[in-house]
Amino acid sequence: MRVTHRVSTLLVSLTLAACTYLAPAVPWTGTTVAVTTTTSPFSATSSPCAPTFVRHALTHTTMLPLPVQLFASNGSGVAAGDVNNDGLTDLVFANLAGDTTLAMNQGDFRFDEITLGLPYTRAISIVDVDGDGHLDITATHRGAGMSMLHNMGQSPPQFTRVPITLDQSRTYSMLWHDFNGDGRLDVVTGSYDADIQRGGGLSLFDHQNGGVFVHTQNKNGTFKSLRLTDRANALAIAAIDIDGDGHDDIVVGNDFDMRDEVWLARQNTWLAVQPFRSTPHSTMSYDVGDINRDGQPDLYAADMNPYNTDVATMAAWLPVTSNMPQLHPNDDPQLMENSLLQRTTDERWQSYGRELAADATGWSWSTRLGDLDNDGYTDIYAVNGMIAQELFPYLPNHELVEENQALRFDGTRYAPMPAWGLNDTASGRGMVLSDFNNDGRLDIAINNLQSASVVYENRTCSGDALAVTLRQPGPNPNAVGAQLRLVNADYTQWQHIAVTRGYLSGNAPSAHFGLGNTPPTTLEIRWPDGALSTIPNPGTQQLLTVTRSTP
Amino acid sequence: MTSATFAATPQRSTSSLWALLRPAHPWLAFAITASALLIGVVGRQIGLPMWQAALPGAGIFGVAVIARWSMDRAKFGSLCALVVALVSFQGGHGIEHIMQWLQYHAFGYTLRASTGLISAADTELVHFVWNWGVLLVMIRLYILGMRNPWAYVMLFWSTAHTLEHTYLFVRHLQVLAQLQSWDQMSVTAQGLPGILGRDGWLARSPVTAGTWICTIPGLTTATRLDVHFWWNVGETLLMMIAATTHISRQRLHTTQ
């Protein structure tokens, strides 16, 4: 009898453990604010659609002296944004080895490239820091802090370098966001201690400045800094509502065996928690999107994990992986694979990366979520590869050559899409998805290491789409941090207005919804301060600009 | 070789597997084991590596065991001696895997450090040779007459296990050859994923990617250490059940 009881208890426990469901989306509540809308139809494309992307090479090259050394090989990011307000999204390519390049979009995938006098840049974001209506350029630098090029609002655009004084002098990654809903943009910065140590060890000075900081912008444009931790190998930072309370929290992805960290937004403070059942081992990149169309965000975290396991690939990786540190397994959630994390009913986050076949994209760097074929499902694009004399002395040019991975989602699983022609073997680092010709399809820009940057024009024969930009009064005019839910008869899609996505890369402050052939019935907007707006029948095949009239 | 050999001696019962496995002279067995251990400890104290320290003791122990099995073979026949030897060897091998499992799950070792008691023996070659050896002995037992449902299950299990190690060994050699072509002589290419388990062929094959197959708990999600722990626990248990069933049937057969 006792044995029977024990067995039945064990079975019940195992059943309960297995029955962890995804948490449902929390309905938005808050004050409703009035908005006005304007629409602009997508431009008609001159080229016929085809099942592929078309490659356009740029001049900018992040070229390091040979042989490429470790951590210099981490490369630089790329950011998208309309710096001259001409309606075309421009690009800024960071450059670890030289000057940063502004690529002004002239239409038809022609870019005029000019250098900005901003050398040795790592992360890059195009963001209106001071709220004057013109997008500024902010960057982190190797071995230094953050800098900003203030957009003077002239045509052609002129920039002046202005100081950003933060209580952290060694920033690697950054994330701009309005965390407290006060209408001013804050910034989270993270250090990369491994690089600092390689450059001579962490001095007392570095110890006082390393780690992760939240810098809250004051009314006078200065920043008040709060240190969340004193150590980090922060390759990626994301803002996402982890606990479903309506406030975006901070997630920091650390390289190597240093665990990823999460801080929940609380009244005037931040609470460190560990909600992830598993994470990547070396988190390289974050992106936030809605994979399962349940109207709430999911977190995609990229790692180094070979996408095939043939003999040559295993042999190429083995000398590196066999020297990686391993932690005690019982309390370590880190697995060497991409995580596709979704919130479950027990307030934890479970990875479904392997179930959806999204767990391996090679030695991944910037990895982005986006509906590349406008079928209503969120696809994945990952750039990858590695060059380092110390890691791969046995490979030609010390380079692990991999094909960038385009994974198409059909609602059940991800599948590689070589037909799209995105499987470039250049060593990609920063990458951004954006619509460069306003045709409603997401194009791609990549900042490669040791080879020219490229822009991929999306010519796929796709479904409908809706692009949304937000305008609000005050110093955060692009409503960075706002969330959107696009509702139709069958499902709800979630997007947010984010200017930092992927690895060291910046995103244009707009949202793109692929629709397939299902028109949306409602667009719900949650503004950064928590106010709500609802737009019925937002339409398709157009850019919808929503302007909030009152603060 | 006949089945009657199991009941041939009046001095020692063959009514169970344990009767065959237990020491004929417990105190002598204790003395041999203790002296083997003592020599090993002294060897370690004077700075010998583990395998060198263990070698004399293993020799003493091995001579005693072989002497015992020789006597058993003379008394009970080849099948009996082979069963006892197989269960003993596989039991010892199983202890290595249990130790690895404990090191990883209970003692907090990393996967890389969880190599059992004799870490030098935790190589693809050893596992490959061992499993083929076990399978061949099982086939020999089958030919000699050990045939019962558990023996068939055991044979199937052991064949599958051996196939996995064959796959592992072939991959090991291929990867090693590739590494050597790059002058990467210090990388051992041990511990690669096999057919089952996390990152194994079943979990990472393009055919199964994204299907329920690649997330079957344990089968396509467990670490290699766990996968081979269960392979060996299963094999040892099946071996003991098959042997016990065979022995009890033979006793029944000969007493009727």
> What's the 3-state SS for B101-154?
HHHHHCCCCCCCCCCCCCHHHCCHHHHHHHHHHHHHHHHHHHHHCCCCHHHHHH
Reduced to 3 states, what is the DSSP secondary structure of residue A387? strand
Going by pLDDT thresholds of 50, 70 and 90, the confidence category of residue A8 is very low
**Contact residues on chain B for A322, CB-CB shorter than 8 A:** 112, 187-188
Phi first, then psi, for residue B49 (nearest 5°) are -65, 160
Q: Which H or E run includes A4? A: helix A2-18
Residues contacting A156, CB < 8 A, separation 6+: A84, A104
Is the model more confident about A210 or about A122?
Answer: A122
Q: Report the first-to-last Cα separation within chain B, whole angstroms.
A: 20
Is the model more confident about A409 or about A200?
Answer: A409
**pLDDT (0 to 100) of residue A247:** 94
Answer yes or no: do A312 and B104 touch at CB < 8 A. Answer: no
Of A314, A354, A394, the CB nearest to B215: A354
- State the DSSP code for A503: T
Mean pLDDT for A174-202 is 90
Going by pLDDT thresholds of 50, 70 and 90, the confidence category of residue A327 is low
Structure tokens at A220: 């006078």
Of A315, A360, A413, the CB nearest to B178: A315
Going by pLDDT thresholds of 50, 70 and 90, the confidence category of residue A413 is confident
Interface probe, candidates B105, B171, B175, B181, chain A, greatest A C-beta count within 10 A: B175
How would DSSP label each residue in A39-63?
Answer: EEEPPPPSSPP-SSEEEEEEEEEB-
Tell me the C-alpha distance between A444 and A436, whole Å: 8
**pLDDT (0 to 100) of residue A529:** 95
Nearest chain A CA: its distance from B148 CA (Å): 30
For residues A94 and A122, the answer to whether their CB atoms sit within 8 Å is: yes
What are the C-alpha distances in Å from A132 to residues A116, A128, A152, B176?
20, 7, 9, 61
* Residues in chain B, overall count: 256
Going by pLDDT thresholds of 50, 70 and 90, the confidence category of residue A316 is very high
Strand A304-305 vs strand A362-370: parallel, antiparallel, or unpaired?
A: antiparallel
Mean pLDDT for A240-258 is 95
Tell me the C-alpha distance between B2 and B137, whole Å: 18
In the block, residue with structure tokens 């059942």: A277
pLDDT digits (tens, 9 = 90+) for B209-249: 777 887 788 888 888 999 999 999 999 999 999 988 988 88
**Average pLDDT score, chain A:** 92
What's the ipTM? 0.83
For residues A145 and A168, the answer to whether their CB atoms sit within 8 Å is: yes
Residue ranges of chain A whose CB lies within 8 Å of a chain B CB:
308-309, 311-312, 314-315, 318-319, 322, 326-330, 354-357, 360, 394-395, 412-415
**Contact residues on chain A for B110, CB-CB shorter than 8 A:** 326-329
Answer yes or no: do A314 and B110 touch at CB < 8 A. Answer: no
Kindly report whether the peptide bond that precedes residue A393 is cis, defined as omega within 30 degrees of 0: no
Lowest mean pLDDT among A261-275, A276-290, A488-502, B72-86: B72-86
Tell me the C-alpha distance between A478 and A214, whole Å: 21
Structure tokens at B129: 């040779």
Mean pLDDT for A261-286 is 95
Of A312, A319, A395, the CB nearest to B187: A319
Kindly report whether the peptide bond that precedes residue A24 is cis, defined as omega within 30 degrees of 0: no
Tell me the C-alpha distance between B153 and B241, whole Å: 10
- Which ranges of chain B have pLDDT less than 50? 1-12
pLDDT digits (tens, 9 = 90+) for A436-458: 999 999 999 999 999 999 999 99
**pLDDT (0 to 100) of residue A339:** 96
Which of B244, B206, B202 lies closest to B222, judged by CA? B202
Is the model more confident about B11 or about A127?
Answer: A127
High-pLDDT (> 90) share of chain A, %: 81
**pLDDT (0 to 100) of residue B255:** 54
Nearest chain A CA: its distance from B108 CA (Å): 5
Which of B60, B212, B221, B85 lies closest to B144, judged by CA? B85
Cα atoms in the Cβ-side hemisphere of radius 13 Å centred on A185: 29
The amino acid occupying position A35 is: V
**pLDDT (0 to 100) of residue B24:** 66
Tell me the C-alpha distance between A170 and A195, whole Å: 10
Is the model more confident about A308 or about A379?
Answer: A379
Highest mean pLDDT range out of A11-15, A63-67, A225-229? Answer: A225-229
Answer yes or no: do B112 and A326 touch at CB < 8 A. Answer: yes
B216 vs A: CB within 8 A: no
Structure tokens at B219: 């089968």
**Contact residues on chain B for A410, CB-CB shorter than 8 A:** none
Q: What is the pTM of this model?
A: 0.88
Reduced to 3 states, what is the DSSP secondary structure of residue A540? coil
Answer yes or no: do A311 and B209 touch at CB < 8 A. Answer: no
High-pLDDT (> 70) share of chain A, %: 94
Nearest chain A CA: its distance from B187 CA (Å): 6
**pLDDT (0 to 100) of residue B1:** 38
**pLDDT (0 to 100) of residue B95:** 87
Answer yes or no: do A413 and B175 touch at CB < 8 A. Answer: no
Of A326, A328, A394, the CB nearest to B184: A394
Of A308, A315, A356, the CB nearest to B179: A315
Residue A14 has pLDDT above 50, yes or no: no
Residues contacting A355, CB < 8 A, separation 6+: A413, B210, B214, B215
**pLDDT (0 to 100) of residue A86:** 96
Mean pLDDT for A327-337 is 78
